[in-house]
Amino acid sequence: MTITNLFPGRLRVTAVLLAATLFSGSVAFVSPNPRLAHSFRVDKNGWIFVHLQGSPSDIGYQDGYLLAPEIDDAIRMLKFYLGRTTRENWTFYRDAAQRMFWPKLTEEYRREIEGIAEGLRARGYKYDAIDITALNGWMELAYYYRPQLIRELRERRARGKAPGNCSAFIATGSYTSDGKIVMAHNCWTDYIVGERWNIIEDIVPEKGNSILMDAFPGFIDSGDDFAENSAGMLITETTITGFRGFNPNGAPEFMRAREAEQYSNSIGDFVRIMTKDNNGAYANDWLIGDTKTNEIARLELGLKYFKVWRSNNGYFVGSNFPSDPKIIREETVFNPYDKYSSMNDRKLRLETLMREYRGKIDVKIAEKILGDDYDQVRGRFAHDSYVICGHNDEDPLGVRQWGWGPFNPAGAVQGKVTTTDLADKMELWAHMGHPDGTNFIASEYFRQHPGYRWEGVFLRDMLSYPWTLFRATR
């Protein structure tokens, strides 16, 4: 483990001692820079922890500077990956981001994005604010805007599919060991993307609440999404499979998600922020908790419609299925009756586990659930795309609803757990790699599946590390 800190003089020593207290390990110094005061980076168990603090431009600069190699790698990977999978080059994403997203960003987040680009340039990487905007919005553009554009133009081209991906739950009351909230999430995506989803960001902004969240390099929000803030709000989600809808005049989802992470003080605040000027992109079932009341909620957010469920004694699960009949009927092509689909199979398993562990759910049980490999519908243990800890790389069927072919290298890439008590201390547990503890070794995979060797330019080993506790700096 390495702690990288960029403080001048006495401040540098103080901050490193603080960081060393939080994360015991070796310390590496980088040249002093006053704009990096109060910020540092720690590499631990497959994760990169960064503490960012100050004005929007300084937070952005710290983010860009501390994570420069990872952001550069992420953009180069996306240029390659999106060019192959969506048949669009980076210019398409830049142009769309500049035209639709940049004008809708608030001044605060424009300054942060400009700061990220400035921090990158200070490290010798030539990116601008539009590159970073395209990076933040690439999922919205690839899976929501582009498919709609293709439908409107009636082109016969490979269509992007709104991603399903991810398994999650939030529980409270009689379902948890202490009657308080437990929230857990594992991120599903293509391994070429997900093995890079390894940032833990501890953000202390000038305005709003402090945030502790996981993130993709260069994102201003979590993205997959798992976050807690200093007002006691817990936030996660799973995307809606087969969603069709996008409003090019709405505010980008990544900005609204960051606003909700930073400025929500209640469930009502979260709903208001996410539904205002909604563009329909990255349509989700949001799972939300308020540790001040131990109330939980689910916001199912489409484009035309949304619905909210709330509970002080119950649970909500997410596995990429919608529940509101209006959203299912009018905004998706989802089939709620196909019990053999990954979405409905995992829903059944999660609901079964909620009942099985009722009154016992805590951090350890949550970690166990995220690593679960039992196919409830077929009645067997398996490494495939129909279990909570997905392994599409070992699945001869794949997931047609997401455009994942047989043995496509994708699945559960990491996991996170938090509780009321952890969030009160601004802590969370995180696991990089498959939560069931198995490793993905690229060379072995390519020997068995040479048809995917094209990904070898950027696809690398994805090792499973131990569960690790991260704590925000106060």
pLDDT band at 161 (very low <50, low <70, confident <90, very high): low
**pLDDT given for residue 113 in this prediction:** 99
Kindly give the interhelix angle for 253-263 and 267-275, rounded to the nearest 10 degrees: 160
Strand intervals (E) in 314-467: 314-318, 374-375, 380-381, 410-419, 427-432
pLDDT digits (tens, 9 = 90+) for 232-268: 999 999 999 999 999 999 999 999 999 999 999 999 9
Does the structure show a pLDDT above 70 at 101?
Answer: yes
**Percent of the chain predicted with pLDDT > 70:** 91
pLDDT digits (tens, 9 = 90+) for 340-383: 999 999 999 999 999 999 999 999 999 999 999 999 999 999 99
Longest dimension (CA), the chain: 64
What whole-number distance in Å separates Cα of residue 94 and Cα of residue 141? 10
**pLDDT given for residue 185 in this prediction:** 98
Does the structure show a pLDDT above 80 at 448?
Answer: yes
pLDDT band at 469 (very low <50, low <70, confident <90, very high): very high
pLDDT band at 149 (very low <50, low <70, confident <90, very high): confident
- Lowest-confidence range among 158-172, 414-428, 438-452? 158-172
Q: What sign for the dihedral angle of Cα 78, 79, 81, 87?
A: positive
pLDDT band at 13 (very low <50, low <70, confident <90, very high): very low
Cβ contacts of residue 194 below 8 Å, gap of 6+?
A: 187, 188, 410, 413, 414, 462
Strand intervals (E) in 115-270: 167-172, 182-190, 199-205, 211-215, 226-229, 233-239
Helix spans in 31-153 (H): 56-66, 68-85, 90-96, 107-122, 129-136, 138-140, 146-153
474 or 366, which is more confident? Answer: 366
Q: Which tokens hold the place of 142?
A: 């690839």
Q: Is 457 helix (H, G, I), strand (E, B) or coil?
A: helix
- Lowest-confidence range among 10-14, 228-232, 402-406, 416-420? 10-14
Query: Which DSSP category does 445 fall into?
Result: H
**pLDDT given for residue 11 in this prediction:** 38
pLDDT band at 17 (very low <50, low <70, confident <90, very high): very low
**pLDDT given for residue 162 in this prediction:** 74
Phi, psi torsion values for 432, nearest 5 degrees: -90, 135
**pLDDT given for residue 153 in this prediction:** 58
- Lowest-confidence range among 10-14, 42-46, 302-306? 10-14
H or E element, residue 299: strand 295-301
pLDDT digits (tens, 9 = 90+) for 196-243: 999 999 999 999 999 999 999 999 999 999 999 999 999 999 999 999
Does the structure show a pLDDT above 60 at 15?
Answer: no
Domains within the chain, CATH numbers bracketed: 167-197+236-250+264-471 (3.60.60.20)
Cβ contacts of residue 102 below 8 Å, gap of 6+?
A: 110, 129, 130, 133
**pLDDT given for residue 120 in this prediction:** 98
Does the structure show a pLDDT above 90 at 474?
Answer: no
**pLDDT given for residue 416 in this prediction:** 98
pTM passes above 0.85: yes
**Percent of the chain predicted with pLDDT > 90:** 88
Does the structure show a pLDDT above 90 at 25?
Answer: no
Does the structure show a pLDDT above 90 at 145?
Answer: yes
What whole-number distance in Å separates Cα of residue 29 and Cα of residue 295? 44
Does the structure show a pLDDT above 90 at 150?
Answer: no
Does the structure show a pLDDT above 60 at 31?
Answer: no
